[in-house]
Amino acid sequence: MKFEFSEDQELLRDQARKFLQDKCAGAVVRGVLESDQTHDDGLWREIAEMGWTGVVIPEEHGGLGLGYLELCVIAEELGRALAPVPFSSSIYFAAEALMQDGSSAQKAAWLPKLASGEVVGALALAEGPGATPFSKTKTKAQSSGNGQFRISGVKGPVLDGMAADIAIVPALGEDGFGLYLVALDQNGVERAVEPSLDESRPQARIAFDNAVAEKIGDSGEASLRYLLNKAAVLFAFEQLGGADACLQMGVAYAKERFAFGRPIGSFQAIKHRLADMYAELELARSNCFYAAWALSTDDVSLAEAAAVARISISAAYFTCAKENIQVHGGIGFTWDLDAHLYYRREKLLSSVIGGQRRWREYLVQALENKEMTAADENARVA
């Protein structure tokens, strides 16, 4: 198995990195963090004009019709730059849910708008602290006839919920669990900012009171789990980019900062920190690459690969973000240095679709399912 990207994908990476270095400096991230903006609108428009929002959306719906490997490359560079835009919510969640389970009419209505960046989407999954089983969600959906539904319940925190125009809302309907599309500009929806450690990607609390909704195809619990597995891989690449940026920042400072007449990188204590960052990051990188392959080929190991990637890169990003601050010493704790921006983003990304504990549970479930499938196959052959 070849764990590397193609020449065209590496060219895309280089172009994305140069663009973001030019357009998404630390001042852009701080501009959103220190204001009431929901995202950097100028950066979002330019990203959409470059076609990144339509990378995996089919050409017939206004996208580029490329693959998930290209999306992984872009995700990594967005994570490296800490881009304050709702890319992941709109593309990993809303666009993916529609491509995965949406009807022909729903795809035709919404995918072109998501591909162009005209509409921003979000996933309203959480209902407060802790993990609620899908089948026990408190949000309810009632049929109102003509294929429409009414949604009632409270969701939060919702990543990019203040920027979103539409939300994918998991809810319990008369025929069981499903995913529903809700326009957020209607009377039955109220939004408020939810406090967050990383306010360069603001989160929201969204209350639905008989809000008009439409069910997304025949979606159910399996649909949401599949959607989360795919999103876990893409978020893993955002985390990979951020962790690598922390390592590079720490290495650069260790070379240029002198103490007692020598660069601090020559001291054993600093060397050990940087070596630990590198070792943990490279192990996580290999897991992310395997998960990218599983995602791009829709391999049966996707659930297992996504969970392993999610667990390993979450741990690696935490190590890199924390140790980067330590390598910088006293200045590492200051507001003016960008180190805390990565620490903030690490905390956000490590929890947005469930923390390591939840993904360890998902990994156990994937391994159990794998063993059961193997046992069934062995019984069939016997």
pLDDT tens digits along 12-45: 999 999 999 999 999 999 999 999 999 999 999 9
pLDDT at position 335 is 93
pLDDT tens digits along 212-224: 999 999 999 999 9
Q: Report the sign of the C-alpha dihedral through residues 54, 60, 62, 64, in that order.
A: positive
Rounded Cα–Cα distance for residues 52 and 278 (Å) = 29
CA torsion angle for 200, 201, 205, 208 (degrees, to 10)? 140
What's the whole-number mean pLDDT along residues 320-338?
Answer: 95
* Angle, CA of 366, 367 and 368, to the nearest 5°: 90
Number of neighbouring beta carbons within 10 Å of residue 60: 11
pLDDT at position 134 is 87
Rounded Cα–Cα distance for residues 348 and 360 (Å) = 18
In this prediction, what percent of the chain has a pLDDT beyond 90?
A: 87
pLDDT tens digits along 260-296: 889 888 899 999 999 999 999 999 999 999 999 999 9
Closest CA to 256 of 323, 329, 336, 338: 329
Q: Is beta strand 121-123 parallel, antiparallel or unpaired with respect to 166-173?
A: parallel
Binning pLDDT at 50, 70 and 90, where does residue 377 land? low
Look-up of token digits 């809000």: 211
pLDDT tens digits along 176-214: 999 999 999 999 999 999 999 999 999 999 999 999 999
pLDDT at position 173 is 92
pLDDT at position 131 is 72
| Contact criterion met (CB below 8 Å) for 292 and 233 | yes
Tell me: cis bond preceding 133? Omega within 30 of 0 counts. Answer: no
pLDDT tens digits along 54-82: 999 999 999 999 999 999 999 999 999 99
Residue 130, pLDDT above cutoff 80: no
pLDDT at position 78 is 98
Binning pLDDT at 50, 70 and 90, where does residue 142 land? very high
